[in-house]
Amino acid sequence: MDTANANKTSRRDLLKSGGVAGASILAAPYILSSKAWAQKEPVRVAVVQDMSKTYGLIGDLHAKGLKMAFDEAGNEVMGRKIELVIEDTGGDAAVTLSKTKKVLSTFKPHFFTGPIASSNYAAIKDEMFRSRAIWLLLTQGAGAEDTVLPICNRNAFSVSWNNWQLSAPFADWAYKNIAKEFWTGYADYNWGQGAAAVFKEQFEKNGGKITGSIAPPLGTSDYSPYLSKVLAAKPPGIFCFFAGGDAVNFVKQWHQFGLHKVTKLTGQGFMIEEEVLPAQGEAAVGTISILSWARTLNNPANKAFTEKFMAAYKTPPAVFAMCAYDAGRVMMAAVKSAKSTDTNGLIKAIETMSIDSPRGNLKFDPVTHEATQTFYVRETKMVNGQPSNVVIATLPTVPTPAKACRLNA
């Protein structure tokens, strides 16, 4: 997801919490292994993404999740040290491209993750596709028609989600369980536009009607002109995409307008995910969302992940940390399966692997390299005095439409 208006991360807090920091912040790459290279070639992992500015909070969560996965394994796999370099881009596309070229040519990573914003994906895509590194996407910055962009390449795999996965299955569920008439609401940029378009298409396939829409600009602080339109129309339901600071402001003002009494607020889970729930408070209660994970998800892997994350960082995890944690485990499992860091061997290993993830079972579609995973319908409820996302339904696991991407077909 190309997440908007995420809060600024604190480098100092990240270092105190035991997380990794961006090379551009520290003026020199941070190497997870402080010892000289072992006799065997190390497994090299590079991260080029925001560790500061707009998407710094997400970068912080990615770094923490990835580091936790490696820490659990003693920072080695099959007797080979894991070396991790993280470069901060500050969200700038030109900087992202420059640092990606530098990392690929000098560090020569076996695995690469990042960036976060869609503009930065576009900046580095060609460089990444020319490289031999396995590219694991922790977010995706695509719109409605680009549900598999930018990962349509043998070297690239999504460990996260795409817009279709977070919109179409929920449209089916909402039509059956909420209402036959909906509005859409979204931050007016490519991901938000895509979310609304996919939801509308699928909802109408079911026989439903989309009778209105609001599209505030990215970074809107006063939503009253848009909420007034919803209040006047009083639709039974609305499907939304907002994230970061936008999500906090939108949900709080939605509640202040009393809209929670007349229209069911729903949307992609980022609107009420763990990093924004504390600021939203009781205003988020009653919201229904879709995501591939919830902190309250009841399975042994999620319980262990949540407890370890809390112990390590003294704060609850969020979905971005979970995706990075899974990415680290995918990297190590691939090396073990391939018994090498040969690119072709790693690709085959990832295409056929199955991971017991905190989200449930995680596999990869061999045709698109998208994550094949379970998505959950969640309702925000007060649990022990705190707003929490509680799973109320499990959606059928369906593959993303391949469209133009057919890697092994």
Cα(208)–Cα(200) distance, integer angstroms: 9
Whether 188 is covered by a domain: the verdict is yes
What would the two tokens of residue 17 be?
């919490």
CATH number of the domain where residue 92 is located = 3.40.50.2300
User: How buried is residue 28: exposed, middle or buried, by Cβ count under 10 Å (0-12/13-18/19+)?
Assistant: exposed
The answer as to whether 115 is a domain residue is yes
What is the reported pLDDT for 404?
60
Residue that is written with structure tokens 């090396």 in the block: 335
Q: Are residues 235 and 341 in the same domain?
A: no
Q: Residue holding tokens 């599209």?
A: 215
Distances (CA, A) of 152 to 126, 137, 256, 404: 12, 12, 43, 9
What's 155's DSSP letter?
T
Contact of 395 with 169, CB cutoff 8 Å:
yes
In a domain, 158, yes or no: yes
Residue 256 in tokens? 């202040």
What pLDDT score was predicted for residue 20?
Answer: 38
Please tell me whether residues 230 and 242 are part of one structural domain: yes
Indicate left, alpha or beta for 92 from its phi (over 0: left) and psi (-120 to 50: alpha): beta
pTM, two decimal places: 0.85
Instruction: Choose among 289, 244, 248: nearest CA to 267.
Output: 289
Percent of the chain with pLDDT over 70: 87
pLDDT above 80 (res 141): no
Residue 405 lies in a domain: no
Looking at the structure, do residues 138 and 181 belong to the same domain, yes or no? no
Instruction: Tell me the residue range of the domain where 351 lies.
Output: 11-162+299-372
Query: Do 188 and 255 sit in the same domain of this protein?
Result: yes
The closest alpha carbon to 192, from 135, 255, 239, 158, belongs to 239
* Residues 6+ positions from 27 with CB-CB distance below 8 Å: none
Please say if the pLDDT value at position 331 is more than 80: yes
Give the chain's domain count: 2
142 and 55 inside one domain: yes
* Section 266-272 average pLDDT: 97
Task: Based on the fold, state whether residues 309 and 260 are members of the same structural domain.
Answer: no
Does residue 400 sit within a domain? no
Tell me the per-residue pLDDT of 92-140, one tens digit each, with 9 for 90 and over: 999 999 999 999 999 999 999 999 877 788 889 899 999 999 999 998 7
- Give residues with Cβ within 8 angstroms of 230, minimum separation 6: 183, 185, 212, 214, 238, 259, 263
| Whether residue 314 is found in the same domain as residue 330 | yes
**132 and 234 belong to one structural domain:** no
Task: Locate 315 and state its tokens.
Answer: 């704060």
Q: Could you report the per-residue pLDDT of 209-226, keeping only the tens digit for each?
A: 999 999 999 889 999 999
Question: Is the same domain home to 45 and 155?
Answer: yes
Residue 328, CA distances (Å) to 53, 133, 369 in order: 24, 14, 17
Same domain, 224 and 343: no
Short-list 299, 297, 320, CA closest to 392? 297
Give residue 24's pLDDT: 34
Give dist(CA 248, CA 119) in Å, integer: 24
Position 402 in a domain: no
In a domain, 4, yes or no: no
Average pLDDT over residues 314-342: 97
Tokens read off for 136: 């694991």
Residue spans of beta strands (DSSP E) within 312-367: 355-357, 360-364
Are 221 and 162 spatial neighbours (Cβ–Cβ below 8 Å)? no
* Same domain for 131 and 110: yes
Give domain status of residue 320, yes or no.
yes
Q: Which residues contact 88 (CB under 8 A, 6 or more apart)?
A: 21, 22, 23, 24, 25, 49, 50, 51, 52, 59
Structure confidence at residue 152 (pLDDT): 78
Element (H, E) at 369: none
What are 250's two structure tokens?
């939108």
Report pLDDT for 244.
84
